[in-house]
Amino acid sequence: MDAENKLQNEGQSLEAQVKAFFDSAPPLNSSHEITQKLNQFIQRNSSSSARRIVCVTSGGTTAPLEQRCVRYVDNFSSGHRGATSTEYFLKAGYAVIFLYRRGSFQPFCRSLPEDPLLECFEPTNDLNIQVRKDYSEAVKSAIVDYHTAVAGGHLLKLPFGTIFEYLQMLQIIGISMRCIGQRAMFYLAAAVSDYYVPWKDMLETDSSILLKKANAALEKYKMHAVVANELSTRKEQVVVTTGVDNITVLRDNSEPANDVEKPLIKLLSERHATYIEDSGR
């Protein structure tokens, strides 16, 4: 009886921990859209056939330390096993829900170099782009196999970043796959954090100390300028502080393709030229 009571208490404790995690997690963005995609995918692969469906998780999760996250603890995983296993599941006749870390290894890319876009293609004399001969077969195979899986409705890719996103999405997938019973499989190849900081306990970014820290860095490291930005507006504006003045650099939003880096580099280039000229006097 003691052993039975112990197991029961452990089960209740685990349930309480799971509930505490999901209660503390920030709301998942696009949860409705994810649920819709899953239901459509599962319906497509279960209505007209007895196709088995596997959820493959891949890559590592991050455990954020701040609500506007700059610092986090990362569980390393290249995602190679999950991505490669996805290929073999597809060949075995499964439909695959590929839950992967953004930026991790992708299915059908094993034979491609680390930077496939820049290394596999080259410009032609007439300013068009072609696949380099060394990679032509690998690129053709990757594209054909990937599009065959997607067009056939047998591969659904869902990206995650944090431990909160991962577990909330995994929960949605589990609920969605209940309807297919024993034809469901979970192949959990992701490297998952075994710790997290509750959302309400996280540090919050204090924008008021941004320039104070930038000026402290100028003094400590004897630099000529520091580029400072807040995470939430980093693509729209930065502040260049020199110890003498603070210059706000804004993105020209008249064109969507414009970057804040364009006026930033123009300013730094001009300041550098002035510095060289003044040093020669």
Helices 163-176 and 31-46 pack at an angle, to 10 degrees, of 40
pLDDT of residue 249: 96
Residue 73 sits in a domain whose CATH number is 3.40.50.10300
Give the confidence band of 174 by pLDDT, cuts at 50, 70, 90.
very high
Last residue of a domain, one of 162, 178, 201: 201
Give the E-state strand segments of the chain in sequence order: 53-58, 62-64, 72-74, 95-101, 121-123, 129-131, 155-160, 184-188, 226-228, 237-241, 246-250
Angstrom distance (rounded) from CA 121 to CA 2: 67
H-helix or E-strand containing 7? helix 2-24
Residues 193-212 have a mean pLDDT of 76
Last residue of a domain, one of 157, 179, 201: 201
Residues 68-82 have a mean pLDDT of 87
Last residue of a domain, one of 156, 174, 201: 201
Residue among 62, 249, 37, 237 nearest 153 (CA): 37
Task: Give the pLDDT confidence of 83-135 residue by residue, as tens digits.
Answer: 999 999 999 999 999 999 999 999 999 889 888 889 999 999 888 999 999 99
Residue at 235: amino acid letter: K
Asked if 146 and 110 count as a contact pair (C-beta separation under 8 A), the reply is: no
Task: Give the pLDDT confidence of 180-202 residue by residue, as tens digits.
Answer: 999 999 999 999 988 888 877 76
Angstrom distance (rounded) from CA 174 to CA 163: 16
Domain that holds residue 231: 207-279
Give the confidence band of 7 by pLDDT, cuts at 50, 70, 90.
very low
Asked if 128 and 86 count as a contact pair (C-beta separation under 8 A), the reply is: no
Q: Are residues 225 and 144 in the same domain?
A: no
Asked if 217 and 209 count as a contact pair (C-beta separation under 8 A), the reply is: no
- How many domains in the chain? 2
What is the number of other CB atoms lying within 10 angstroms of the CB of residue 277? 9
Q: Are residues 272 and 231 in the same domain?
A: yes
Residues 247-255 have a mean pLDDT of 94
